[in-house]
Amino acid sequence: MRNLLNYDGPVLRFLTKVVYSVWLNILWFVCCIPIFTIGASTTALCYCTGKIVRDEEGYITKSFFSSFKNGFGKSTIIGLIMTALGVVLAVDGYVMYHLCFTSVFWTLTSAILVVASIAYIIVLLWVFQLNARFENTIINMFKNSIMLGMRFIFCTVLMALVFVVMGYLIYYVCTPLIIFGVGSCVLFNSMLMKNILIQCEEQSDNYERTI
């Protein structure tokens, strides 16, 4: 019991990571306020949570703004693309819901919309994590996101559930839990995908050595 509560024990190290995620959640929210900076802010959040789960956190605030600044251009483009796609899917979903016909066309269109929405969620869960960890083109980031999300579908489902559970707790149980918000969700997701990203990094290094 004494070892568990030591400064370097697993319990206090985990609680420290959670506290870091709360601070990162605040930084993320503030930096998202201009709206168009959502992509850069989310990439910076993923970058810092990735360092935390690898026990490389260092100066969290400095790391956040360093990532925010260095990856601003590409991250902003990815963020704007994801925002635009999200708006289109939301509008289409709203229209289809209120039309609610029983025709074959409505059924086919609704099925396509559901598939597109699932693909969107998969990419959303993975693309900023990949952008925070790897250097690649924007197109390849999207391709790799959907491929990894489908390949490791169990991990993807768990990652989505983390956000669902957090949203449920905030909305129905205890609103002040919003202080944990996105920061804690991304931290837990970084834990879930830690080994997967390590494998991707090793494969990328092996590929570079062969060319």
C-alpha pair distances (Å), 14 with each of 6, 164, 165, 166: 12, 22, 19, 18
For position 2, what pLDDT does the model report?
52
For position 190, what pLDDT does the model report?
94
For position 164, what pLDDT does the model report?
96
pTM of the model: 0.88
Q: DSSP assignment of 82-142, as one string?
A: HHHHHHHHHHHHHHHHHH---SHHHHHHHHHHHHHHHHHHHHHHHHHHHHHH----HHHHH
For position 211, what pLDDT does the model report?
44
For position 97, what pLDDT does the model report?
78
For position 110, what pLDDT does the model report?
86
What residues of the chain score a pLDDT lower than 50?
207-211
